[in-house]
Structure 1
Amino acid sequence: MADITRRFGFRHLRAAPTAHIRHLRSGTLAHEGTGLAFWFRPLTAAISEVPADDRELAMICHARTADFQDLTVQATVTYRITDPVVAATRVDFGIDPDTGAWRAEPLDQLGTLLTESAQQHALELIAGLTLSQALAAGVTPVREKIGAGLTTDPRLTETGLAVIAVRVTALRPEAELERALRTPARELVQQEADRATYERRAVAVERERAIAENELASKIELARREEDLVAQQGANARRQAEQNAAADRVRADSEAARRTRIATAEAEAARILADAQADSERVLGEARAASEEAWLLAHQQAGPELLHALALSKLAEHLPKIDSITLSPDVLTGLLTRLGRAGAAEGEGR
């Protein structure tokens, strides 16, 4: 919108760089161009402001497919007024000389024109397709059809419009139908997810089985090694026992031999001792016998007096110690009597 300033019954207009201004004074062209600034009298001026920049127009249209299904098309059209003079003569772009605002709604008129034209071309395309075909084809055919139709539309050219670009953002059926159409795809995706889950579980089971087999193989190998260890320990213990038995046998044999030698030596020593004792006793006996024989021989040659004296001497040796003795006449008489008898007997014996 242009900026208009009042001064002493005159008006000053300053336009934007993207606005094309057309000023007629009493039906005669006084100013025309973009970004103008000038003074004018409001009573004799007719001013039009045509935008020269690119404009975006969003639109939504409903089309019916060949199988009688409703399809919503969301699109955006970018356009530009390439001939402001023609557009100003075909559409009312006149502004109020006091406020600078448009007297009518020119952009709404252009939007209606573009929307109806684009909707017409979209309907022509979608009417020949089923819903599945339209959704499968996507937005590209619709975009190409609308772009080609708007570019070649003579009404837009006569109005001074040029379509820069057409973008179709979505093709949507009704909500219930859309959910129904999504169900097979969802089921397929769910089946793929289930298959992936089953495969993952199968891989996990296979890995668990491999791990269990590895653990079992490890346990078997460990048990075998333990068996080998026990067998080796048994062999070592048996070998140690055999070695200990052999050593004990050697020690026993040595001890037996030593004891045999000791016993033999002791027996030999005992025999020698016994022989020595026998010889000694024999010699002693012989000496005693000789002594007795000599003693008897001496007694045979001795007289009775000597024998009595010897007898008394032997008797005295065997008598206890006597400090004093008292001889009565009776004892002395009896003793002498016995001595006399003994001497008589000895004499008779000779």
Structure 2
Amino acid sequence: MATIRSYPWIRHFLGSPTGHVVHLRHGRVAHEGVGQAFWFRPTTSVLSEVPVDDQELPVFFHAVTTDHQDVTVQAGVTYRFTDPVTASQRLDFAVDPHSGATSTDGRDQVTSIVGQLAQSHATDVLASMSLAQAMTAGVPRVRALLGEVLPADPRLAATGIAVVGVQVLAVRPEKDVERALQTPAREHVQAEADRATYERRALAVERERAIAENELASKIELATRRERLVAHEGANARREAEEKAAAALVDARARAERGRLETESRADQVRAVGQAEADAERARMDVYTEAGQGTLVALALRDAASSLPAVQHLTVTPDLLTGLVGSLVQGALGGTPDGDGTPARKAA
């Protein structure tokens, strides 16, 4: 926006870097360009300031499709003034010489011109399309058409306006129609969501079934292994018992054989001892047979004396003395006594 300073009978104009100023004095161009600074008299000068930067123009309009459905087109047009002098002559961009304010009539005129051109061309395109086609292919087709016809429009070129870009944001039907059109898609999306939910549940059930089957298979496997373990343990126990029984049988047989051998050895020893004792007794009997009565009595007394208690007093009776004397006499004579104790005579 330009800046104007007031002085007595004169003004000073200071332009902006984005405004092309045209200073007419007495109907002729005195100053013209961007960023101008000059003195002027308000009574003899006319000022116009045309923007030279890119201008964004939103465009909204309605169109009717072949199936008599109203649609709203939301677009945006980017333009610039390529010939500011021509634009200042065709459009109202006057600047107040006292305040420096620029008139907005020029911008309103551009909005009306561009909006009407865009609406006329877009309406022709949408009028040949059904609502479904407009919803699906309306945006690219309208964008391509406006991007082609607006830059080449002769009226815009004659006004010094160049369209540098067209954007079509949406082609939308009325709200109730749009809601009705969205219903099948929503139902389809809901159906897909339900299907995904059912599939997820089915998958969860299938996984739970697989987990249950795995658990059951694990239990069966554990039971089978436990059965095998019990069978192996029973077989091992039986084998161990058989081995112990066999070892016990071998041990018993060994003990029996050892006992038999010991018994036979003891029997042989007893037999040998008995035989020896019998031989000794026989020899002793032979000796006793050959020995005389006195010898036998003496031996008997000797054996009896070894087992008799100690004798403190001895009483000698006549009978004992008679027999003893007879024995002595017989021994001296070499005979044997008779039954009455008298010595017998020797045989011739």
Q: For 1:138-173, what per-residue CA distance to the aligned partner results, in whole angstroms no more than 9, with x for missing partners? A: 411112233334334443233222211110111222
Could you give the per-residue CA deviations for residues 89-123 of structure 1, whole angstroms, max 9, x where no partner exists? 22222211111112452212211222222222222
Q: Within the alignment, does 1:91 sit opposite 2:91 as a pair?
A: yes
> Does 1:233 find its partner at 2:233?
yes
SS in 1 for 2:231: helix
Match of 1:178 in 2: 178
Preserved CA contact (<8 Å) 2:20 2:33: yes
- The unaligned stretches of length 5 or more in structure 1 are 296-307, 315-350
Distance in 1, Cα, partners of 2:288 & 2:148? 174
- Work out the CA distance in 1 between the residues paired with 2:213 and 2:102: 87
Distance 1:144 1:246 in 2: 107
Alpha-carbon contact 2:126-2:138 (below 8 Å) kept? no
For residues 256-275 of structure 1, the C-alpha deviation after alignment (integer angstroms, 9 at most, x for no partner) is 22322333444555566667
Aligned pair count? Answer: 307
Counterpart of 1:38?
A: 38
Of 309, 315, 318, the match for 1:309: 318
- Match of residue 52 from structure 1: 52
Distance 2:214 2:104 in 1: 87
Give, as a single letter, the amino acid of the residue that structure 2 aligns with 1:171.
V
Residue matched to 1:194: 194
Change beyond 3 A, Cα 1:42–1:286: same
- Secondary structure of 2:94 counterpart: coil
* SS, match of residue 66 in structure 1: coil
1:139 partnered with 2:148: no
What is the alpha-carbon distance in structure 2 between the residues aligned to residue 189 and residue 226 of structure 1? 54
Aligned-CA RMSD value = 3.5
Q: 1:155 to 1:98 in 2, by over 3 A?
A: same
Give the SS at the match of 2:12: strand
1:68-92 Cα offsets, whole Å, 9 max, x none, are 3221111111111222222222222
Find the counterpart in structure 2 of residue 256 from structure 1.
Answer: 256
User: Match for residue 306 of structure 2?
Assistant: none
CA distance in 1, matches of 2:280, 2:145: 160
Kept in 1, the 8 Å contact 2:65–2:131? The answer is yes
- 1:159-308 alignment, distance < 5 Å: 159-268=159-268
Name structure 2 gaps, 5 residues minimum.
296-316, 324-348
Q: Are the equivalent residues in 1 in contact too, given 2:64–2:126 (CA < 8 A)?
A: yes
* Distance verdict in 2 for CA 1:9–1:286, change over 3 Å: same
Matched AA of 1:137: A
Separation in 2 of the partners of 1:272 and 1:29?
Answer: 173
| Secondary structure at 1:22 match in 2 | strand
Distance in 1 (alpha carbons) for counterparts of 2:3 and 2:322: 192
Task: State the distance in 1 between where 2:89 and 2:101 align.
Answer: 18
Deviations 1:203-236 (A, max 9, x none): 4445555555555544444444444433333333
Residue identity in the other structure for 1:253: R
Distance 1:313-1:233 versus aligned 2 partners, 3 A rule? farther
Determine helix, strand or coil for the equivalent of 1:139. helix
TM-score of the superposition, structure 1-length normalised? 0.73
Match of residue 68 from structure 1: 68
Does the Cα contact within 8 Å between 2:19 and 2:34 map onto a contact in 1? yes
How big is the shift at 1:47? 1.3
Give the 3 Å change call, closer, same or farther, for CA 46–80 of structure 1 in structure 2.
same
Q: Please state how far the C-alpha of 1:9 moved relative to its aligned partner.
A: 2.0
Describe the SS at the equivalent of 1:151.
coil
Q: What is the percentage of aligned positions where both structures have the same residue?
A: 53
1:6 corresponds in structure 2 to 6
User: Mean alpha-carbon deviation: is it higher for 173-182 or for 35-44?
Assistant: 173-182
Change (3 A) 1:180 1:109: same
Distance in 2 of aligned mates of 1:309 and 1:127: 188
Greater Cα offset, 63-72 or 224-233? 224-233
Distance 2:280 2:29 in 1: 188
How far apart, CA to CA, are the structure 1 residues paired with 2:292 and 2:106?
A: 189
**1:248/1:19 Cα in 2 relative to 1: closer, same or farther (>3 Å)?**
same
Moved more, 41-50 or 229-238: 229-238
Normalized against structure 2, the TM-score is what? 0.74
